[in-house]
Structure 1
Amino acid sequence: MKIADHIFYVTGGASGLGAATVRGLHAKGAHVAIWDLDVEGATRLSEELGGERTLVGEVDVTEEEDVRQAIQAADDKWKGSTVAGCVNCGGVGMAGKIIDAEGEPFNLDTFKKVVDINLVGTFNVSRLTAARIVRDLPRPLQKPNSETQDRGVIINTASAAAFEGQTGQVSYSASKGGVVGMSMPMARDLAWYGIRVMALAPALFSTPMMERLPQRAKDAILRTAEFPLRFGHPEEFAHAVIACIENSMLNGSFIRLDGATRLGKL
């Protein structure tokens, strides 16, 4: 699918994997809406890129009205441009064992918050993006055939923890496992409209979330890597995003970005 002159929404776009994705799409000529609760960080990134083909939106991905207003703002700024998809990078990680050292159970509200942001928020942005893409399709809608070009792409961020969750990652792993699980049914739901869906499952990436891990945990993760023996660069994630957009055969599945690591018990 073409990237230049198309509109893409990037959640969690102010830092880490999201910011690298914003830069990568912008370099390809896209109009990029940077959605994040960190408005200052998103604004700095927008200014760095010149502002003309970026737009900052203060968006809570779990709030329908926030997303709807941000979509409308992009429509207002880039009238006549085609909405091509979204990249959901926004997420949180809150570690804790089901039973702590004092025998107390993991806080249920914390579990719900992680799932709400990482999974429900991803679904919320995906469904509203899909509806926005469909709105511009010629009427009457025609079922795709062998000659139909991509009409949109949704890329969601999972994690290697979706497959090998580590100690204390129950809420995070559950949320990311849900993101992987959505890929195929969402792709099937949207196939009639020519919209593709992919999930990326990174493991060892240098992001603000990873930097908050104790050094002990970082060392343990790196010991499980085969090659390269380092944390991934956010630009490598952005490269995978661009590949998913440009390669029409990538649909309904996930790609691991992990240096052949398989997470073990911490």
Structure 2
Amino acid sequence: MAKGAHGSRQAAWEFFGAELKRRREEAAFTQVELGARVFVSGGYIGQFEQAIRKPQLDVAQRIDETLRTDGFFERMWRKLIKDLPFEAYFAHVAELERLATKICQFEPMLVPGLLQTPEYTRALYEVSHPFATPEYVEEQIQARMDRARILKDATRPEYWVILHEAALRVPVGDPITMAAQLDRLREMVGEHKVLIQVIPFVAGAHTRMGKMMKLMEFEDAPPAVYTEGVHWGNLLDEPGVVKQVQGSYDLLRAAALPPEASLILIKTAAEDHRRCAKST
């Protein structure tokens, strides 16, 4: 995504917030009063008005109902989300990644999108979207690479990743693609852009074994959790739920190898993929 495009979209969200504040004040609601009517805190209304956070669709719809704005906020929300190069269920998460000060992620089967090489991403899309046009696949690859730029920024988030060994062993694309992807993981650890731990097969079953999770912390907002299934995703920020997920993540970290041993396992898996390539 071009930097200008991001700036334009942020300006649109700032307009969304300014309009929310103007219309809330015209209706003589405080932030707390409006929040109570749309089932969020008054602090969240303030963050929406400052474009720190973006409301989810159901919240925008309830704002329209409460302020009697004839669908204005829903229409604007849909327009801004539609313009993003991501599935609708993930678009808000992509925005939050950019704001996060810390991201903790667990992936049971795949390398996380922020760490993928273009070749690995292409192999994933070609398998999951077999009838997609080459142009669509290239657009998705570029969107993912653009999203990963947050790890190049001076203000990049502290990024912790736990992978299951299956993510290193199950081939995505050909063996050379997998080997190069695993090499890239080691490079990014060496560049201090991510800390990676691996749960080995020998660790056996563990909590949340098949569920990806992403915990995000922010400087001026409560933490949030994202979980994902097939063609859907859940973004959650209820404190009790976030606390439970954090507990699950701590158990995963306890089952994982230390960072140094994890890098050795990643290197070994890359070498195994290269041997496989030579034997075919």
| TM-score for the superposition, normalised by structure 2 | 0.29
TM-score by length of 1: 0.30
Between Structure 1 and Structure 2, the one with more helix by share is: 2
